[in-house]
Amino acid sequence: MLDIKINHVELKQPQHTISNEPNFRSVRLDAFLEDDEHTLYNIEVQVVNKGNIPKRIRFNQSLIDREQMPSGEYDYSKLPKTIIVFVCDFDLFDKGLYRYTFKNICMEDSSWRIPLLSLAMKP
């Protein structure tokens, strides 16, 4: 599904909760995994289309990143690669595709990419 080779994956925690500050939204990840290359995976199952998945992906990514950076750390190169996968039983964008893949790229120079991959799957 991801078109990448993974030798070993470890379930870091099922139903992993990342709490935010009081009075702010937290997130509960369905499955939070790490592979042998220290890439983090957030696997989500979605059965109802509330039209918010792109922003949920952004929110999940921000809280995952926040959890990986201890207070006082300023070296952002230490943030691990993260892959967020939403498995849906509906066509997220109504384009008739079973998979949608997104990568952040520089519009002026497409060879420069931010290592981000998010997928939405339709069975």
pLDDT at 123 over 50: no
Name the DSSP class of 74. -
Q: What is the model's pLDDT at position 122?
A: 46
For 67-83, what is the mean pLDDT?
89
Q: Where are the domains of the chain?
A: 9-104
* 3-state secondary structure at position 65: helix
Q: What DSSP state is assigned to residue 104?
A: E
Residue range 52-73, pLDDT digits in tens:
988 888 888 988 998 898 889 9
| Other Cβ atoms within 10 Å of 32 Cβ, number | 20
Higher pLDDT, 17 or 121: 17
Helix, strand, coil percentages in the chain from 3-state DSSP, rounded to 5: 15, 40, 45
